[in-house]
Chains A and B, each alone.
Chain A
């Protein structure tokens, strides 16, 4: 528990302190120096400079901020949306359940990548978003988070629905109902706490997935746009320099690797905490296996 959490926190803290580090060292991550391109490590630039003479370390940290924000924001938002859908489907049952679950199926059934490409190229003007939002610098980040949520919520929805189906007929829920407790009350106080464990695990795991997903979008030219950079976009830019400056690819790649490993380990450990009876397993109990089955999205072959 400790080690991965510590690692994640360290990466996050360093990333969010990036502007501070830059300011103290007098380095602007966007300041171009054409006379100092692709230089090796030095006192001024501990990890050297990139193809425009910018400090790699400060840019890596800055990129980490973008990657982590995308990863965490998307994972949380997907969990929230999925929980709502899952609760509604599981508790209300009947037609609501059918419609919601078939909707989930539909999203799982569509090939992920082409769909995202369409979404990434959408004209936001035609969607009627306010001009201020469309014009903002962070619009590419918001777009990616929205995309990740749109395809990511199904995991949480299935998970929560399954747990809700099991819990809703337990004695304490029935008791609460007979005492006249309202639906929101029951959902919030009695059902949600019971699914929180697996939900946290799934959310932790998806942080790493989203960060990777962002790198694929960058590869297709649909990722975050300059001047912002993320680990994914740095990695994808570096492929053209693979022979000239391999380290430009190694650094972001290594950070993605560490983050993904840390998220996965953290998820595993959390699982052991939450569900000690079945340490190490990702799969639900026999009784509700059918209900929870498919909580995971298939690993997409990209």
Chain B
């Protein structure tokens, strides 16, 4: 009966595949809860907004900071950035930006400094529900020069002063009413109540259909003055289950799978093996640093010899080669090879099980009868290894680690927790031995929150801070403090190199690799350039085109 019904329906409606090259359908694994650029943090939202909303500045695929909505990046040499002395001996900086003359919202209204002022007011208001208000806290005031030029008075001088991508403009001309009562803003913002209002978007595309949980349709912004996008319609479709997402690609329901929110690498590789001929597949290692945090508060792990033995006992090359086809190179430290501060002059650890065993012997851990090492008091060398439950890729690696460490006499008990437990409770309270997860960063992201001794979560500071390993080294603290305020790139490079060497020597956490994104694209699509940093590829949608 069912097959008959299927046949009937098919006969009535006709075949599905009608290849239109002026439309593009993209599959991602998450649906944005809101499109308001300043409320909530979600990769799916960044992906959609990449098409429809321009940030002032952004790191491009060469990891250079560039202007998208502004005309010129302020720098001290061009006089648009002026360091100032603040009362109390602190240093600040005044930054002058000019909005592009041709920037328009999709309803035709020009983008003006009025929008900047309004966005600043929203961002400063503690009740408005803005997620990341760090930049707004730093901006002590704004001077409006004219309709397009404004100066920000920033009360902290850092080397990346020109980067203001967190200042995502809101359209004052239609959003102002929603902000009448700041506490109600997050509920009344048009991005939620009327997401298809053209006035909300100033990028090459605007949202023209929004079906919650299913898909978002984007069409060209008629007032876009830059190079036009080549597609008349772009659909972003959400399918959370990756096996189903692959099937959607094969069926033509989606044309491509985004790398930013798509297949995990192992699945992408398996897909490439079967269907690699029919698609172009790009791999891009990014700024997602997979590593194992070691809790230095545990006596056994506080011993550097043990930490060194642990990393020497791991065949990370084999994991990378066998599980990830070499597409996810082994990391030497927390800095990505594409980053400005990267150096390869750091201690490197290859797979040396014999040296690892010798180190453990020297540290007082002799082999017991069951093959597991014990110290003089008879304690077993046994650790709990945690990761986010349900992440299949990590679960696989975890079981490989367990198996490899077992061979040098280290017992591992796997105990995974849901992400919200791991990040919300276990890591802040430092209730773990080893935890495998990723640090997501941005280019030249100073590792203050993860390596500075003042960021160790404790009872005293209300369990705030992300230095869960408990790593405290005055030298590292000094390097981090110096890094943040060093304006000269060369001097900064030297500081970065020192920080990496120190990290790789002391091993507060064991580096694994930088996670690779898999972009599965149709053969006919060109111009997609993965950035490897947190900027979504969709920001450069106007470079994408269909080749016949």
CB atoms of A and B under 8 A apart anywhere in the complex?
A: yes
- Residue numbers of A with Cβ under 8 A of B are 30-32, 34-35, 37, 51-52, 121, 123, 125, 135, 137, 221-222, 225-227, 237, 239-244
Chain A CB within 8 A of B425 CB: yes
In the complex, which residues of chain A have a beta carbon less than 8 angstroms from the beta carbon of B416? Answer: 225-226
- 0/1 interface trace, chain B 190-222, chain A, CB 8 Å (1 if under): 000000000000000000000000000000000
Are A240 and B243 in contact, CB atoms less than 8 angstroms apart? yes
What is the CA–CA distance of A175 and B270 in the complex, to the nearest angstrom?
Answer: 73
Q: How many residues of B contact A (CB 8 A)?
A: 32
Which residues in window 239-273 of B have CB below 8 A to A? 242-243, 266-267, 270, 273
Quick check: B414 and A34 within 8 Å, CB to CB?
no
Interface of chain B: mostly helix, strand, loop or mixed: helix
Return chain A residues, CB-CB under 8 Å to B323: 34
Which residue in B270, B274, B413 is a CB contact (below 8 Å) of A137?
B413
A37 to B323 Cα, complex, angstroms: 9
Residues of B within 8 A of A135 (CB): 384, 415
B241 CB to nearest A CB, Å = 8
- A125 to B392: give the CA distance in the assembly, Å: 26
Nearest residue (CB) in A for B315 is: A34
Known: A221-B418, A226-B414. 7 other contacts (CB 8 A): A30-B402, A31-B403, A32-B402, A35-B322, A52-B399, A242-B243, A243-B274
A32 touches B243 (CB 8 A): no
Chain A residue numbers with a CB within 8 Å of B270 are: 240-241, 243-244
Q: Can you list 21 A-B pairs with a CB-CB distance of less than 8 A?
A: A32-B400, A32-B402, A34-B319, A34-B322, A121-B418, A123-B425, A135-B384, A137-B415, A221-B390, A221-B418, A222-B389, A225-B389, A225-B414, A226-B395, A227-B402, A227-B414, A237-B392, A240-B242, A240-B243, A240-B392, A241-B270
B33 at the interface (CB under 8 A from A): no
| Cβ of A276 to closest chain B Cβ, rounded Å | 36
Query: Which residue of A30, A35, A225, A243 contacts B415 across the interface (Cβ within 8 Å)?
Result: A225
B396 CB-CB contact with A under 8 Å = yes
User: In the complex the two chains form, what is the Cα distance from A225 to B386 in whole Å?
Assistant: 11
Q: Which residue of chain B has the shortest Cβ distance to A227 in the bound complex?
A: B414
Residues of B within 8 A of A242 (CB): 243
Measured between C-beta atoms, what is the minimum distance from A263 to chain B in Å? Answer: 27
The complex places the Cα of A30 from the Cα of B413 at a distance, in Å, of 12
Which residue of chain A has the shortest Cβ distance to B407 in the bound complex? Answer: A31
By a CB distance below 8 angstroms, the chain A residues around B322 are 34-35, 37
Given the interface contacts A35-B322, A37-B322, A241-B270, does A226 sit within 8 Å of B243 by beta carbon?
no
A159 CB, nearest partner CB in chain B, Å: 34
A contact residues around B274 at 8 Å (CB): 243-244
Docked Cα-Cα span, A51 to B319, in Å, equals 12
B175 at interface (Cβ–Cβ under 8 A)?
Answer: no
Which A residues are CB-close (under 8 A) to B399?
30, 32, 52, 226-227
In contact, A30 and B242 (Cβ under 8 angstroms): no
Q: Which residues of A contact B415 (CB under 8 A)?
A: 135, 137, 225
Instruction: List the A side residues contacting B400 at CB < 8 Å.
Output: 32, 34, 52
- In angstroms, Cα B512 to Cα A27, docked, is 28
Shortest Cβ distance from B513 into chain A, in angstroms?
A: 15
The 10 closest A-B pairs by CB, nearest first: A221-B390, A32-B403, A34-B322, A239-B243, A244-B270, A32-B400, A225-B416, A240-B267, A226-B395, A227-B414
Closest residue of A by beta carbon distance from B322: A34
Chain B CB count within 10 A is highest, among A34, A121, A135, A239, for A34
Report if B290 contacts A (CB, 8 A): no
Q: Is the CB of A51 within 8 A of B396?
A: yes
Q: Which residues of A contact B414 (CB under 8 A)?
A: 225-227
Q: For the complex, give the distance between the alpha carbons of A227 and B395 in Å.
A: 9
Among B267, B318, B389, point to the contact of A221 (Cβ < 8 A): B389
Chain B residue numbers with a CB within 8 Å of A32 are 399-400, 402-404
Expressed in whole angstroms, the Cα–Cα distance for A125 and B417 within the complex equals 13
Across the two chains, which residue of chain B brings its CB closest to A120? B418
Q: Tell me, yes or no, whether B357 is within 8 Å of chain A by CB.
A: no
Query: Which residues of chain B come closer than 8 Å to A243, judged between CB atoms?
Result: 270, 274
**Complex-state Cα separation, A37 to B319, whole angstroms:** 12
A221 cross-chain contacts in B, Cβ below 8 A: 389-390, 418
Q: Is the CB of B398 within 8 A of A226?
A: yes
* List of A residues within 8 angstroms of B242 by Cβ: 240
Q: Is the CB of A52 within 8 A of B318?
A: no
CA gap between A137 and B414 in the complex, in Å: 8
In the complex, A32 Cα to B421 Cα: how many Å? Answer: 28
A123 B403 Cβ-Cβ under 8 A: no
Instruction: Compute how far the CA of A237 lies from the CA of B394 in the bound complex, rounded to whole angstroms.
Output: 13
Chain A residues with CB under 8 Å of B413's CB are: 137
B319 partner residues in chain A, CB cutoff 8 A:
34
Query: What distance in Å separates the Cβ of A56 from its nearest Cβ neighbour in chain B?
Result: 15
Query: Which of chain B's residues have a CB closer than 8 A to the CB of A125?
Result: 425
CA of A298 to CA of B414, assembled, Å: 37
User: B398 — which chain A residues lie within 8 A by C-beta?
Assistant: 226
Docked CA distance A51–B264 (Å) = 15
CB distance from B413 to the nearest CB of A (A): 7
Q: Which of B45-103 contact A (CB under 8 A)?
A: none
B402: chain A residues at CB < 8 Å are: 30, 32, 227
Supposing A37-B322, A226-B398 touch, asked if A30 and B403 sit within 8 A by C-beta, the answer is: yes
Complex Cα–Cα for A244 and B389 (A): 24
Q: Which residues of A contact B404 (CB under 8 A)?
A: 32
Q: Report the minimum CB–CB distance from A28 to chain B (whole Å).
A: 9
Most interface-central of B274, B400, B420 (chain A CB within 10 A) = B400
**Which A residues are CB-close (under 8 A) to B315?**
34
Measured in the bound complex, the distance between the Cα atoms of B402 and A30 in whole Å is 9
B91 to chain A, nearest CB (A): 45
Beta-carbon nearest neighbor of A53 in chain B: B322
A52 to B421, CA, bound (A): 27
Report the Cα distance A222→B402, complex, angstroms.
22
- Kindly provide the distance from the CB of A225 to the nearest chain B CB, expressed in whole angstroms: 5
Which of chain B's residues have a CB closer than 8 A to the CB of A227?
A: 399, 402, 414
Enumerate B398-451 residues with CB–CB distance to A below 8 Å.
398-400, 402-404, 413-416, 418, 420-421, 425
A123, A221, A237, A242 — which one has the most chain B CB atoms within 10 A of its CB?
A221
